[in-house]
Amino acid sequence: MALPVSELLDTSVVSGGGLVEPRVIDLSPQHQRQRRVNYAAKRLVDMIFVTGLDQAEAERRFRATETLAPGGLQTLGAAETVPPPPAVLTDPAARRVTVTWDDPAFGPPVVGHAIAAPGYGGIVLGTATRPAFEPAAIARAGFEVGRAWPKGDAGEVETPPDLADAAARFLAASPGVYGVMVATPDRVLLERYGAGGGPGVMTPSWSVTKAITATLIGRLVHEGWLGSIHDPAPAPLWRDPRGIHRLITIDHLMRMRSGLGFPMVNGAGGTRGGFENGEVYCEGEDAFVAAQRASVLTVPGAVYRYINTGINVLGAIIRDRIEARGLPYHQTVYGLLADRIGMASYQHSADIAGNFVASGSGFATLRDYTRFGLFLLQDGVWAGERLLPEGWVDQVMRPSHTGSAYAASMRSNADAQFPGLPRDAAWATGASGQRVFVLQRARVVMTVTNETDHLQDLAALDALGVAAMAAASSGAGGPGCLRAAAP
């Protein structure tokens, strides 16, 4: 029987949810200043209460121009070079930072808050004073004390002289580096730390987290919770079959080819389309809902545009698939990956609604980032157990589209950014120079953690990678190096 016209116009009859209500970004000066204040609170709470820097050092390292306005296809957007807001109040008992920008010439004071709940990283609250969820303690798998590398940290490291010299040159020319590590699946060849770093220090990942999110997608495929990554992305808000979002696949989201963007309204009432790259770290909002409410501005699959939106849609899919099975969301995210491969220090940052932000701002020690790289190096096999589909890592590390060297939430060396490394090298990378290199031919991982505005000497980093490959291929290190635990 044909449906009445009134019911044909009711999207709930078809989908139970209807089409997506677009999210509009406010580019007014007032909102942009609020974003900068929120971002300042987020970064300071990260550095003080997650990484463990004192407030003076955290303020010294703070990058004031990180909050970019969304840009077009060819640009990232303009950043105003303004100083960080001057009034910073910390509350150690509540693990809270409040930032106030009081500029009478601009208007009333602008205030932003952030907290760091254990296990949830730094949470942007914005104008709110508390999150919209209860950050309850998360049961995590403990670290295996006394076990040999890579399941544990037992053993001594003997670094070959050429590798030690290359590391010294890199660190001397890159004063902002927290630490650098080189390891194979059975031994550590190098572990060095700079100012503020150390074996137990948890430093930010920024977009290294994108590779972790993509790996969680691989875990869901392996477990049978997702089908092909070339199917339409099963985002909770994209279930209406008439919606343009149904043209977006999981692979499009992973490879920054979703076409997602936002209409933006400036203070004068003008509107244009743009592509964000920082909203999730500046807004006290539900990041997963905001990402799913993005508009489709270009044909899905046609254009590479690096944004956080698509990766946070992946985060929404991960949460939906976990909760559809009646499992606890936060504990299961860690149990699927980080806890399975011994990344005991790793923690995601949550948003105000309790979602683990999928695009960036996770935290871990240098050793745990390296464990993640080793997991990828071994094609998703850990301690003899396969945790990813066979061939998954090759798939996500290779660029499959022309126009960029970007792969699936990782960067490849197809454009010879590091000329000394093979073209098939790939790395998870973060905004402040964090990198986890996976050098498959040499069977070695090289990890760099960094956070400050100090630039790295990329030529020296390239030379360090060459030395790392040489050390791994020669079997350097000897019996004193950290050795692999028995499966």
pLDDT in tens, 6-16: 333 333 334 44
CA distance 375 to 487: 14
Asked if residue 349 belongs to a domain, the reply is: no
Instruction: Determine the distance from the C-alpha atom of residue 452 to the mean position of all C-alpha atoms in its chain, rounded to a whole number.
Output: 17
Domain that holds residue 86: 25-126
Alpha helices in 443-486 (DSSP H): 458-474
With contact defined as beta carbons under 8 Å apart, do 86 and 44 qualify?
no
Asked if residue 115 belongs to a domain, the reply is: yes
What's the pTM? 0.93
Give the model's pLDDT for residue 154: 62
Give the model's pLDDT for residue 59: 87
Say yes or no to pLDDT of 164 above 80. yes
CA distance 247 to 241: 10
Share of the chain above pLDDT 70, in %: 91
pLDDT: which is higher, 273 or 222: 222
Tokens found for residue 340: 């399975």
In this structure, what are the phi and psi dihedrals at residue 408, rounded to the nearest 5 degrees? -110, 85
Name residue 208's amino acid.
V
Q: Dihedral, CA atoms, 457, 461, 466, 470, nearest 10 degrees?
A: 130
pLDDT tens profile 86-127: 789 999 999 999 999 998 988 999 999 999 999 999 999 999
Question: Mean pLDDT over residues 310-324, rounded?
Answer: 98
Instruction: Determine the distance from the C-alpha atom of residue 417 to the mean position of all C-alpha atoms in its chain, rounded to a whole number.
Output: 21
Asked if residue 239 belongs to a domain, the reply is: no
Contacts with 471 (C-beta within 8 Å, 6 or more apart), sequence order: 160, 162, 163, 182, 189, 190, 444, 477
Share of the chain above pLDDT 90, in %: 75
CA distance 443 to 473: 8
Asked if residue 60 belongs to a domain, the reply is: yes
Say yes or no to pLDDT of 237 above 60. yes
Asked if residue 164 belongs to a domain, the reply is: no
Mean pLDDT score across all residues of the chain: 90
Asked if residue 482 belongs to a domain, the reply is: no
Give the model's pLDDT for residue 151: 83
Tokens found for residue 419: 């000329």
Domains in the chain, number: 1
Give the model's pLDDT for residue 234: 98
Report in angstroms the alpha-carbon separations of 117 from 38, 352, 416: 17, 11, 41
Tokens found for residue 318: 């991960």
Whether residue 150 is preceded by a cis peptide bond, meaning omega within 30 degrees of 0, is yes
Report in angstroms the alpha-carbon separations of 322 from 15, 77, 225, 279: 21, 35, 9, 25
Question: Mean pLDDT over residues 261-282, rounded?
Answer: 86
pLDDT tens profile 257-268: 999 999 998 767
Give the model's pLDDT for residue 13: 37
pLDDT: which is higher, 451 or 4: 451
Say yes or no to pLDDT of 55 above 60. yes
Give the model's pLDDT for residue 141: 86
CA distance 281 to 39: 6
Asked if residue 70 belongs to a domain, the reply is: yes
Tokens found for residue 201: 């220090």
Please state whether beta strands 25-26 and 260-265 pair in parallel, antiparallel, or not at all (unpaired): parallel
Tokens found for residue 121: 């990283």
Asked if residue 56 belongs to a domain, the reply is: yes
Tokens found for residue 484: 């692999």
